[in-house]
Structure 1
Amino acid sequence: MRGPVTSGWLLVALCAVTAAYCLVRMRRCTGAERQEAGGEAVMGLGMAVMGVPATVLSPPDGLWAAYAVVFGAAGARALWGLSGFRAARCAGRGTHHGHHLVGSLAMVYMAVPMAGAAGTGHAGHSGGGLPLVTGALLVYYGVHVLRAGARLVPVAAVAPASGTVAVTGPDRGDGRELVAACRLVMAVAMLAMLLTM
């Protein structure tokens, strides 16, 4: 990806740590939660590799084509999760499958121009996106980041009888707030990558 080297490495570090947490979470979960954690780990690792500054490390030939295949398959899996065949098994998880589908397609969208640029000797310079598609993805991820961030902010509540203020937030003691924070990190990273298109 294009951009300053320092911000590229920060993006790599955040995505790698997020992916590592998702792998740990995958070991603790079962069923649909385990599949979600696995999908998020793949997305985080993929974004970490994509975020490595091209001026520092030249990607091997065929990497971006492999990305397109891997994330195309991840998109097909997310689409399967949205289908009616699995609706009964995955009740309430349709929106997350939809988000995985958008994320996977966004990764394919960014990898295809990079694969073309690698073939012409301009690896690391994506710049081949369609403005309308890039804009739609930026809006999607911008709204997602704002909504997810707002859910993580503690809210002050005043008890009417006593007049005391209690701060409530997303911390339920079960780790869901950390999962939400990891998803927020990946959405911000996706925004940063899309801005280079």
Structure 2
Amino acid sequence: MQRLWLLITFPLWLSLAKGWKYFYPFNDRSYVLAIDEGSVKTSGERVCTVHFFHQKTGSQTTLWKQELAMQYGQETKKADFNGDGVADFLILKGTGARGSNELYYLFLANPKAKTLKRVKGFEDLPNPSYHPKYQVVTSYSFAGKNYYSIYRMGKGNQLIQVGNSFEDSFDSDEKILDSKIAAALKQHKTGTKKSN
């Protein structure tokens, strides 16, 4: 009986004990993504526990659990990053360049299979966005000079950089950006190396 009570009250207990925040990535609210407020490790890095579980009356199944470094913790948003028309789940890792470069962990959502799968390495892409016309992820980095990088999602949700990063010397003009993406994809497809 005590075990049953713990399983039923686990989400509430977590929220009271550690300041957990809950998200429901699917219409079915029995699937829960919980993020704790995090604790600071000896390196000064803040680490949050992300817990994805399925709960039914009287039981709870942990689907996965990860500890992720996060500057702030618990800040999330949804956006489609693989062109399937389903909003994927992003968790803010932190910012750089005095707040100009935002970095996110990406979890691809599959409502039919009820899965959230992390795309490793995505958290290293500043200011990511999805370009539906070319089905690529673009990354825009603010630095002394601003740069675009283009990525494709490969097998197993691995990010593959397409071509070299290029400077935004065209004030983010969409037509010029489109032509640069098309050229990088063409070179990537033919296997020729892009020269600087």
How high is the TM-score relative to the length of structure 1?
A: 0.21
How high is the TM-score relative to the length of structure 2?
A: 0.21
The structure, 1 or 2, with the larger RCO (C-alpha pairs under 8 Å, 6+ apart) is: 1
Structure having the higher helix fraction is 1
* Bigger Rg, structure 1 or 2: 2
